[in-house]
Chains A and B, each alone.
Chain A
Amino acid sequence: GQQVMQIPQYQHVQEGEDFTTYCNSSTTLSNIQWYKQRPGGHPVFLIQLVKSGEVKKQKRLTFQFGEAKKNSSLHITATQTTDVGTYFCAGSGGYSTLTFGKGTMLLVSP
């Protein structure tokens, strides 16, 4: 079955430093979504990428979808303490069912 790998598992940065999490799928994806889950909270949708090589930005967050549609990344510029949480990528090979990566837990120290 489809597998989605995500690295790193955990990253601790100082406020103001950049952060990147990477996602790789064992199969070609039709789309990839990114979610953020705060401690004690539920996953919250951030963005969806569908096109090969697509790049989308949301303020300090930059999302990329690889040319082969098998990998993706999320980059946060100048992290803030509000960025704390676990970031999940979730891939879909078909219509709607998502396979989540293991997530990257981000800690930001002030």
Chain B
Amino acid sequence: AAGVIQSPRHLIKEKRETATLKCYPIPRHDTVYWYQQGPGQDPQFLISFYEKMQSDKGSIPDRFSAQQFSDYHSELNMSSLELGDSALYFCASSFLAGVPYEQYFGPGTRLTVT
């Protein structure tokens, strides 16, 4: 079965640089979520999109932005990177009309800011 695809899997950036993370949800899923997970931490919700519209916003810094495109893939844009942005970034997708509407997580992008 198709899973959530994230690219790149690993990314190394320097402070003040920008980064773009991509997410391709499971086909026919209508909702995409972005999470940030620090070492030994729980996933922190950043932002979500339902049918290409922002549906909810969590602890996403103003330096970050995200969008969902017409083909349902989503991108998380991160600017003015800081050392503290180093983390695992997960994208998850779900089908809200389904029950239960569990979230399927991608393998994550490990971002290291040096």
Contact = CB atoms under 8 A, between A and B. Distances in A.
Interface stretch (B63-71, B78-86, B100-108): B100-108
Interface stretch (A67-75, A77-85, A92-100): A92-100
Interface string A33-49: 10100000111110110
B74 interface: no
24 contacts: A33-B100, A33-B103, A35-B105, A42-B106, A42-B107, A43-B43, A43-B90, A43-B103, A45-B103, A45-B104, A48-B101, A48-B102, A88-B42, A88-B43, A96-B31, A96-B33, A96-B55, A96-B96, A97-B56, A98-B33, A100-B42, A100-B45, A101-B42, A102-B41
Among B44, B58, B90, B100, the one with the most A-chain Cβ atoms within 10 Å of its Cβ is B100
B105 A44 contact: yes
Interface of A: 31, 33, 35, 41-45, 47-48, 50, 88, 95-103
Contacts of B105: 35, 42-44
B77 to A, nearest CB: 21
Given A97-B56, A101-B42, A42 B108 contact: yes
A99 B45 contact: yes
A48 B103 CA distance: 11
Top 4 closest pairs, chain A to chain B, by CB: A48-B100, A45-B102, A100-B42, A42-B105
Contacts of A48: 100-102
Contacts of A97: 33, 45, 48, 56, 58
Contacts of A99: 45
A20 B101 CA distance: 25
B88 to A, nearest CB: 8
